[in-house]
Amino acid sequence: MEPSFIHHETVLAGLKEIFNGKTKESVTIFDPSIKTMLCLIPLTENGITLLEGIMGIGKGVSTRAIQKVFFKDQKIGLLQCDPDKRQEESLYETAVTSNTHYNYDKSGQLTNTQQEYDFDPRAMDFVTQPIKFVNEANRASKSLQDTLLRLFQEQELEYKGKIFRSPNPSITIFDQNPVHMQNDGRRLEPALEDRIDVKIPMCAPSLFTIIATQTIKTSDKTAAELPSLLSYVQMTEIYEDIRKVHIKSEDIYLLSAITQLFFACKHRRDIANEIYNENINCKACSFDNGLCAHVKYPIGQRFIESILKFSKTKAWLEKRDTVSIDDIMFIMPYALNHRITLQPETMSKYVDAHTWIVEYAIPKVEQQKQHCLDILSKYQQAIAKPASSIIEEMFKYSRQNMLYLNTLIDILRIYANTSTRDLEDVMSILETQPKDDDFQLLEQRIKSSQTFAMPTDKKPDIQVICDTLSTMVPMRNYEKILSNRESIETLLKKYNERKEKTFKFDKEVFSKQVFPEFVNLGTTKNKTNIQESLTTDVSFTMLSTTITITHQNDIVMVNLKSEKPDSMTKITSILEDIPAYA
């Protein structure tokens, strides 16, 4: 189903009002990339955005403008973070009602009074409103951040036995000043930070930006207020329409491969302890992909979802029904900059992670993009149509490129599992005593499978891989493939040595390929029978094997019988190379 671009013109008009500085409530943004990202905020369903920058550069103003133009019937759910406030104080309020009970004796005289209090907890607007604003987010206490994490995960909170549900869809905007500019500031908890889809660094305005902004704000000709153009109901229609924007599977594969350039490492940094990680010597590594040495730790995979989510919004805003790889590359720095921890040496050379990604990482990614496409292609070929040549190429390139090496290791794992299934299939089918043509099909299928595509002379190469990665897993998978392969070959050979076999050929194939072979193998004694076999059902003996040939319309059946299976080997080896009747 294609997007209809419902309310598209109204959205464009609203964004123009907000970010072109036409009213006193609007925001002046001269950086086109930042402006584009800010335009995506109200349109991204359940998007969570962090605006970071110094005080007074429009973070709160942007949020209020978005609410007024796009959510005219809803309030901003404000969460003012304070390290001294408990989560109960920040998210809930309690309405207290008092009831007085008067007790009388039988004569009607008042004996006593009893006071009862009813506590009714209620969620504040931050929980119940579809547009949420977390002010000075990094000042929030750990308990409050943990509660926010639950809210974003489950779309609801429980307090004093009551469930408070957040509207779905919604948008959430965090803002914070740079951590080093606050006495009580700190980084957000890693789990909550990873829930934030994108971080937009909002730089301090230049001199001429300030002049332009103040000119607009102080002019008597500037309109005082922004217009209210869309309601929450209309925004939900837009979100539903944006869901219809397509993302090509090949672009998702490419994005997944590209992002691995940041984290591909021969060491298991994701499970390594801190001391081990600190002592990894990236400068001595032979696998130089250009990026991984700058990144201290790997991260989770949620950022891929964030990139795709905002890429769909960008495509819709530009009135396209399909996300492009350019959309993905545009969103990538904003989805990664708050999640990546750079090495100290790299951090000392760049203002922040966002600048490093834009100025250094993205150009490197562009250089490696063709390698990523090649890796994906080889992987798909190796899985879909196994060929030893593809595996040989993977071994060749994996000596210097970590992505090729990781892909080869994945292929080894998949082939090991497949070879086990192949062995089970062969054992199961042979137990049923298949017919000769069924056996031939089984043999063809197995010998063209992943089990037989793996070269048998790669133990030295696998050992190098194991030494490089300090793990024997690749060798175990390789040995499993070879062991299963040997077992399959033994089973096929043993079953192939039966005392009777039948082959089925097309009449033309029999006359052009089978008959000449019988003529070459035959003797003067059975020459006449061989000649008659072209048109007549015959039976004769050759190489201690009784050969019976029968004709059924356009099919010729060749049955071999011998008490000495070894004596049939020469004939069967010839017939097995000739295409059987399908």
Sorted by where each begins, the domain ranges of the chain are 8-87+126-242, 249-382, 385-496, 500-575
Cα 37 to Cα 210, 228, 254: the distances in Å are 21, 21, 22
Q: Which residue has the higher pLDDT, 204 or 476?
A: 476
- What gap in Å lies between CA 53 and CA 58, rounded to an integer? 9
| Sheet bearing 48-52, strands edge to edge | 76-80, 131-135, 171-176, 48-52, 198-201
Residue 21 has pLDDT above 70, yes or no: no
Residue-wise DSSP of 194-261: HH--EEEE-PPPPHHHHHHHHHHHH-TTSBSS------HHHHHHHHHHHTT-B--HHHHHHHHHHHHT
CA–CA separation, 511 vs 487, rounded Å?
37
Angle 37-41-43 (CA atoms, 0-180°, nearest 5)? Answer: 115
Angle between helices 302-317 and 325-336 (to 10 degrees): 130
| Residue type (1 letter), 91 | L
Helix (H/G/I), strand (E/B), else coil: 535 = coil
Which amino acid is residue 504, in one-letter code? K
CB contact at 8 A, 269 and 277:
yes
Look at residue 471 in the predicted model and tell me its pLDDT: 86
pLDDT of 553 above 60: yes
For the chain, give the mean pLDDT: 87
pLDDT at res. 493: 83
pLDDT on residue 543: 83
Split at pLDDT 50, 70, 90, the class of 486 is very high
Structure tokens at 171: 């948008």
CATH code for the domain defined by 249-382: 1.10.8
Judging by beta carbons within 10 Å of its beta carbon (0-12, 13-18, 19+), is residue 372 exposed, middle or buried?
buried
Q: What is the pLDDT, as a whole number, of residue 29?
A: 82
* Over residues 558-562, mean pLDDT: 88
111-125, 223-237, 468-482, 536-550: least confident range: 111-125
At residue 169, the pLDDT reads: 95
DSSP state letter for 133: E
- Burial of 100 by CB count in 10 Å (0-12 exposed, 13-18 middle, 19+ buried)? exposed
The count of other CB atoms within 10 Å of the CB of residue 399 is 14
What's the residue count for the chain? Answer: 582
Confidence at residue 435, expressed as pLDDT on a 0 to 100 scale: 79
Alpha-carbon span 18 to 38, nearest angstrom: 10
Q: How far is CA 323 from the centre of its chain?
A: 16
Q: How many CB atoms lie within 10 A of CB 109?
A: 7
State mean pLDDT over 385-402. Answer: 89
Share of the chain above pLDDT 90, in %: 50
Maximum separation of any 2 CA atoms in the chain, in Å? 138
How far from each other are the two terminal CA atoms of the chain, in whole angstroms?
41
Residue 366 class from Cβ within 10 Å (0-12 exposed, 13-18 middle, 19+ buried)? exposed
- Identify residue 351 by its one-letter amino acid code: V
Q: At what angle do helices 473-496 and 459-469 cross, to 10 degrees?
A: 150
Query: Order of strands, edge to edge, in the sheet holding 538-542?
Result: 500-506, 555-561, 545-552, 538-542
Instruction: Judge whether 150 and 133 are in contact, CB under 8 Å.
Output: no
Burial letters for 413-448: b for 16+ Cβ neighbours within 10 Å, e otherwise? eebbebbeebbeebeebeeeeeebeebbebbeebee
CB burial class (10 A; 0-12, 13-18, 19+) of residue 17?
A: buried
- Rounded to 5 degrees, φ, ψ at 270 are -70, -25
CA dist 366 and 577 (Å) reads 48
- Tell me the pLDDT tens digit for each residue of 445-456: 898 899 999 999
500-575 has which fold?
Profilin-like (3.40.1840)
**Number of other residues whose CB lies within 10 A of the CB of residue 375:** 24
Q: List b or e across 200-235, with b for residues whose CB sees 16 or more CB atoms inside 10 angstroms.
A: bbbeebeeebeeebeebeeeeeeeeebeebbebebb
Position 450 scores a pLDDT of: 93
List, in sequence order, the alpha helices (H) in 432-506.
436-447, 450-453, 459-469, 473-496
The topology (CATH level 3) of 8-87+126-242 is Rossmann fold (3.40.50)
Dist. CA 286–CA 142, nearest whole Å = 41
Paired tokens of 348: 């000392």
Quote the pLDDT of residue 100. Answer: 66
Residues in contact with 278: Cβ distance below 8 Å, sequence separation at least 6, in sequence order: none
For residue 205, the 8-state DSSP code is P
